[in-house]
Amino acid sequence: MNAIMGHMRGTVRRGPDGADVPPALVLAGISKTFGDFAALSDVDFDLRPGEIHALLGENGAGKSTLMNIVAGIYTPDSGRVAIKGQPVAIRGPSDAQQLGVGMVHQHYKLVKPFTALENILLAHPGGSFRAARSRLEALTKDALDRIGFDVDLNRTVETLSISEQQRVEILKVLVAGATIVILDEPTAVLTDDEAVRLFKAIRSLAMEGHSIVLVTHKLSEALNYADRITVMRGGKVVRTVLPTEVTEAELTELIVGSAISERSHRAGKAGKPVLKLRAVERSDSRGGKLRNLTFDVRAGEIYGIAGVGGNGQNALVEVITGLSRVDAGNMWLDAHGDVTNQPSDRMRRSGIACIPSDRHSDAIAGELRIADNYAISGVIEGRYGSVARVDRRGIAADTQDAIRRFEVMGVRGPYQKAGLLSGGNAQKLVIAREFSGKPSLIIAHSPSRGLDVRASAAVHEHLRAARDRGAGVILISEDLDEVLVLADRIGVMNRGTIVAEFEAPADRQMIGRAMVGHG
Amino acid sequence: MAETTISTAAARRSFFGRFNLEVRGHMPMGQQMLVVAAGIMLGLLISAMLLVVSGVKPSGLVNEFVVAIFTSRRNVAAVLSYAAPLTVVGLAAALAFKARFWNIGLEGQVILGAIGATLVANHDFGPPALRLVIMALAAMAAGILWIGLPLFLKIKLQVNEIISTLLMNYIAFNLLLHLLYGPWKDPQSAFPNSKLFDDVERLMPIGWQNLNLALPIAVLLVLMAAWLLGMSRYGFLLNFVHANARMARALGIRIVGLTLLFALASGALAGFGGFIISTGIESRLTQSFFVGYGFSGILIAFLARNNPFAVAFFAILVAVLMVAGQSLQVFYQIPFAMVQLIQAIIVICVAASEFFIHYRLRMVE
């Protein structure tokens, strides 16, 4: 541990020939906020020459934000960056490139109708087209041979497979002369075989002296392929460890944490089920797939669904709210019977309310008034005046009332545009609207994502109040702390199904293992 | 070494970095209108310069655009008689655009509307007292027919309506030519026209200059559209479809139903526009009666941001351009295309001015 701390202060270590070799990259005290959300707070990180360093953590832990700062996409609010022992200021991606930093993003930035070589050329203009082309072709071929990549440079990108496109991205970075290579979730789109080949290539890059940062949320990759592992959680570095000195269980604990700061109180007695899903199947499409999904939600309980993002959570929300059809299986609502594959307006009329994960695209019309955004669900159900005339006065009065009760701040009046609200206040507005119809089932998907502590606590309090009123609440969250603090019962979602269920208080290590397990 | 590269990068940036482009949070409505007004003024100024270059004296410009139009009752009446159908077609565009159905086929629907009305007139359907009402209904039905096919393709097969409605214009135009050179050609005329409508098939005059019922009807339609979009439940729901379709879907708003309602209303209004032009201005079907209405409707709705009252205002502005353009044609041999050029310049200036509603340029050190 002391040795690691020493590195963070930028001390040097002895190279093989006895000369002083400074760290390839040192980050010290990096902080970054977006609005009132602290994405990174006081983060230290160091990268040695020739090492593969895994940056591990859940979604939203701040891994990508930290690396985007190194790549010049974001500028930090505070903190220092040093490359090869020299303090530097990275003000943009071109600065990063000149300093030898190259990042392969999760979403590739390639021009599809152009060939692989043309894409590489596009990233490195200079000199005449002809001369640059032949110079780069030689450079690229050389890089290809050295790391054992196999890509036909003269094929257009759209004809290349995903893994070949990824190789083009890596080549782009190498040809630019990057010595620090950052790979952001590189295996997310690869098959297992392709991933193994990728790690082989990465290792040979490291042998050549490149320093690699591997951003990932997969434990096994970090344990099997990295020289060191730095774990991040909630915008902070938890610890830096060697893969040989930790077990998978210990690493899980580091990732999901053990601290619960918010005081929780549990439900009284849960009633009969308000929602039953039985063997629901949905084939893979936008939002992910569901397979053999079965669970109950009872009146007066919060059913937490824990899991790494992208394991079918979006599909689940779409199916329950009636936005997407199921291929097989059934869904029952208390008092409404079988509601499988009913359209969304019917589902809402049956007492389902939804707090979606992406409030700005799914729950708020930013260019319309706060009052309209509040009243829309009531208007759909036929309240507020008649078909011929919407009762604007009634809407304004009710909105004023809701703004006060749900403590939506930063509002000058109900006719202000909803897009001007901050994240937390926009979320309170969504909750005020969704609760206005006295729903019997509430689906909250990452309801406190991007909110500060105070706003999340308020959101949680509203969910508990709904539960205590007798509603069934489904809480879907990638933040295990949130699930543990709120849920009365917890289901773990992994690859489209509930793989385990726990009664609160649940053991977080067991939940963590079910989340990342591949059995 | 690292520091030198950084400083050169900084120096390069400082050259371009004098001005920063920043996103504005929100601009008050009054300011937005000022920005758009400035865009219109700039467009008019550029157009004036073009006209001066093409040989119109600056004094002549003032004469044709201001003095002649606003001091002569006859010219005021001419402007209003053009403005009435332009308003109707502009409203048709606004209804469709508000539902995010990009109806570029207004011209075809105007043509079909006129054909529908003429069909009734040619065959003297119904009692004379109700003849105009039947013609109007036929015109609206024809407009609905012409938007119905692209609408069906859009909803069932996701066929892009910009292309399909545009292409329907050409079909409509060729159908019109076929009728006028063939079965409907007036034997007493050397031109490809249908026969003149009977008196009962023309809109009644309202007793001031040559104005007819088209004007009060257009005013009524503006009020109805304002009610539909601004006060009714449909308009309230449509605002969400327009502003955030994903959210509207998630909340269970029946987007398809609303789109159907407003797109069909758009087609009906455009067809009704064809009825007004043929019965109120031309009194017969000609091969060019629609020129300048269909596409003007699109730009009027764009300039008006789909607000019915603003549609009426911009319809009058375009009508002023058309009337002034006619006298420029006569007295200065300026081609009619110049009027369309001026329209285009104004649209581009207004579109460019929107940039300053969303962004601001700021000097930085």
Q: Which residues contact A214 (CB under 8 A, 6 or more apart)?
A: A52, A53, A54, A55, A183, A186, A202, A221, A222, A225, A226
Identity (one letter) of the amino acid at B114? A
Q: Phi/psi of residue B54, each to 5°?
A: -85, 10
B14 touching A (Cβ < 8 Å): no
Q: What is the pLDDT of residue A367?
A: 87
Contact A362 B246 (CB under 8 A): yes
Q: How far apart are the first and last CA of chain B?
A: 26
Length of chain B: 365
A389 touching B (Cβ < 8 Å): yes
Q: Return the residue in A97, A361, A390 with the most chain B beta carbons within 10 A, the one to mutate for interface testing.
A: A390
Residue predicted with more confidence, A16 or A449: A449
B251 touching A (Cβ < 8 Å): yes
Residues of B in contact with A344 (CB under 8 A): 249-252
Nearest to A86 by CA among B3, B89, B36: B3
Contact A366 B243 (CB under 8 A): yes
Q: What is the pLDDT of residue A2?
A: 41
Which DSSP string corresponds to A196-216? HHHHHHHHHHHHTT-EEEEEE
Contact A390 B233 (CB under 8 A): yes
| Contact present, A459 and A447 (Cβ < 8 Å) | yes
* Cα–Cα dist B111/B146, whole Å: 10
Question: What long-range pairs does B216-224 form, CB within 8 A, spacing at least 24?
Answer: B217/B84, B217/B88, B217/B276, B218/B83, B218/B84, B218/B85, B218/B87, B218/B88, B218/B276, B218/B312, B219/B312, B221/B87, B221/B88, B221/B91, B221/B269, B222/B87, B222/B91, B222/B308, B222/B309, B222/B311, B222/B312, B223/B308
**Nearest CB to A356 within list B231, B250, B253:** B250
Residues of B in contact with A99 (CB under 8 A): 2, 5
* Cα–Cα dist A155/A314, whole Å: 36
Dihedral angle computed from the Cα positions of residues A508, A512, A515 and A519, in that order, rounded to the nearest 10 degrees: -120
| Contact present, A372 and A395 (Cβ < 8 Å) | yes
A131: burial class by Cβ within 10 Å (0-12, 13-18, 19+)?
A: exposed
What is the residue whose two structure tokens read 């937390």?
A424
Contact A368 B26 (CB under 8 A): no
- The rounded mean pLDDT for chain A is 84
Q: What is the pLDDT of residue A14?
A: 44
pLDDT in tens, A88-107: 998 888 889 889 999 998 77
Q: What is the pLDDT of residue A285?
A: 65
Structure tokens of A401?
């009332």
Q: Phi/psi of residue B359, each to 5°?
A: -130, 160
Q: What is the pLDDT of residue A286?
A: 63
B20 touching A (Cβ < 8 Å): no
- Cβ under 8 Å to B: A residues 71-110: 83-84, 86, 88-89, 91-92, 94-95, 98-99
Q: What is the pLDDT of residue B103?
A: 95
Nearest to A323 by CA among A343, A301, A350, A296: A343
Structure tokens of A257?
């944490």
* Cα–Cα dist A518/B79, whole Å: 75
| Contact present, B313 and B301 (Cβ < 8 Å) | no
Residue predicted with more confidence, A514 or A451: A514
Q: What is the mean pLDDT of residues A396-415?
A: 85
Nearest to B326 by CA among B313, B339, B317, B342: B339
Beta strands in A342-485 (DSSP E): 352-355, 441-445, 472-477
Residues of B in contact with A361 (CB under 8 A): 244, 246-247
The answer to which of A143-152, A163-172, A373-382, B254-263 has the lowest mean pLDDT is: A143-152
The residues pairing with A293 across neighbouring beta strands, listed in sequence order, are: A280
Q: How far is B236 from chain A (nearest CA, A)?
A: 8
Q: What is the mean pLDDT of residues A227-233?
A: 93
Three-state secondary structure string covering B55-66: CCCHHHHHHHHH
Q: What is the pLDDT of residue A519?
A: 46
Nearest to A226 by CA among A172, A187, A177, A169: A187
List the single residue in B with minimal CA-CA distance to A363: B247
Structure tokens of A304?
């937490």
The answer to which of A102-106, A236-240, A422-426 has the lowest mean pLDDT is: A422-426
Q: What is the pLDDT of residue B88?
A: 97
B35 touching A (Cβ < 8 Å): no
* Cα–Cα dist A60/A42, whole Å: 16
Nearest to B271 by CA among B91, B100, B97, B98: B91
Q: What is the pLDDT of residue A13?
A: 45
At residue A189 the predicted structure's pLDDT band, cuts being 50, 70 and 90, is low
Beta strands in A393-445 (DSSP E): 441-445
pTM of the complete model beyond 0.95: no
Q: What is the pLDDT along chain B (365 residues), one digit of tens a residue?
A: 333 333 333 444 444 455 666 666 567 778 888 988 899 899 989 998 988 888 888 887 877 777 777 888 888 999 999 999 999 999 999 999 999 999 999 999 999 999 999 999 999 888 988 999 999 999 999 999 999 999 999 999 989 999 999 999 999 999 999 999 989 998 888 888 888 888 888 888 888 888 899 999 999 999 999 999 999 999 999 999 999 988 998 888 989 999 999 999 999 999 999 999 999 888 889 988 888 788 899 999 998 989 999 999 999 988 988 888 888 888 888 887 888 888 889 889 988 888 888 777 766 54
Residues of A in contact with B2 (CB under 8 A): 83-84, 86, 88, 99
pLDDT in tens, B304-321: 989 999 999 999 988 988
Q: Phi/psi of residue B161, each to 5°?
A: -75, -20
pLDDT in tens, A298-319: 999 999 999 877 788 888 999 9
| Contact present, A367 and A434 (Cβ < 8 Å) | no
Q: What is the pLDDT of residue A450?
A: 66
Contact B252 A345 (CB under 8 A): yes
Nearest to A504 by CA among A304, A323, A274, A227: A304
Radius of gyration of chain B (CA): 24
| Contact present, B211 and B276 (Cβ < 8 Å) | no
Please tell me whether residue A71 adopts helix, strand or coil conformation. coil
Q: What is the pLDDT of residue A50?
A: 93
Q: Are strands A52-56 and A20-21 parallel, antiparallel or unpaired?
A: unpaired
| Contact present, A441 and A466 (Cβ < 8 Å) | no
Q: What is the pLDDT of residue B179?
A: 95
Q: Is the pLDDT of residue A287 over 80?
A: no
* Cis bond before residue A505 (omega within 30° of 0): yes
Contact B239 A372 (CB under 8 A): yes
Contact A99 B25 (CB under 8 A): no
* Cα–Cα dist A211/B351, whole Å: 49
What is the residue whose two structure tokens read 């001419």?
B78
Q: How far is A19 from chain B (nearest CA, A)?
A: 20
Length of chain A: 519
Cβ neighbours of B37 (radius 10 Å): 12
Please tell me whether residue A229 adopts helix, strand or coil conformation. strand
* Cα–Cα dist B26/B12, whole Å: 32
* Cα–Cα dist A259/A485, whole Å: 10
Q: How far apart are the first and last CA of chain A?
A: 34
pLDDT in tens, A112-154: 888 888 888 887 766 677 777 888 888 888 888 877 787 888 8
Radius of gyration of chain A (CA): 26
Q: What is the pLDDT of residue B300?
A: 93
Contact B244 A366 (CB under 8 A): yes
Query: How many cross-chain Cβ pairs, A to B, lie less than 8 Å apart?
Result: 100
The residues pairing with A442 across neighbouring beta strands, listed in sequence order, are: A353, A473
Q: What is the pLDDT of residue B22?
A: 66
Q: Which residues contact A314 (CB under 8 A, 6 or more apart)?
A: A286, A287, A288, A357, A445
A66: burial class by Cβ within 10 Å (0-12, 13-18, 19+)?
A: buried
Q: What is the pLDDT of residue A186?
A: 86
Structure tokens of A130?
């002809």
| Contact present, A445 and A288 (Cβ < 8 Å) | no
* Cα–Cα dist A356/A317, whole Å: 8
Q: Return the residue in A380, A415, A416, A422 with the most chain B beta carbons within 10 A, the one to mutate for interface testing.
A: A380
Q: Is the pLDDT of residue A203 over 80?
A: yes
Q: Return the residue in A98, A314, A445 with the most chain B beta carbons within 10 A, the one to mutate for interface testing.
A: A98
List the single residue in A with minimal CA-CA distance to B9: A95
Q: Phi/psi of residue A189, each to 5°?
A: -110, 5
Q: Is the pLDDT of residue A335 over 50?
A: yes
Contact B247 A361 (CB under 8 A): yes
Number of alpha carbons in the 13 Å side-chain half-sphere of residue B306: 19
Nearest to A45 by CA among A24, A73, A15: A24
Q: Return the residue in B5, B233, B255 with the most chain A beta carbons within 10 A, the one to mutate for interface testing.
A: B233
Number of alpha carbons in the 13 Å side-chain half-sphere of residue A3: 6
**Nearest CB to A380 within list B10, B246, B251:** B251
Identify the helix (H) or strand (E) that includes residue B23: strand B19-23
- Cβ under 8 Å to B: A residues 344-373: 344-349, 354, 356, 361-368, 372
Residue-wise burial string across A204-236, b where 16 or more C-beta atoms lie within 10 A, e elsewhere: ebbeeebbbbbbbbbbebbbebbbbbbbbbbbb
List the single residue in B with minimal CA-CA distance to A421: B25
Q: What is the pLDDT of residue B8?
A: 39
Residue-wise burial string across B86-108, b where 16 or more C-beta atoms lie within 10 A, e elsewhere: bbbbbbbbbbbbbbbbbbbbbbb
Q: What is the pLDDT of residue A258?
A: 59
* Cα–Cα dist B113/B275, whole Å: 6
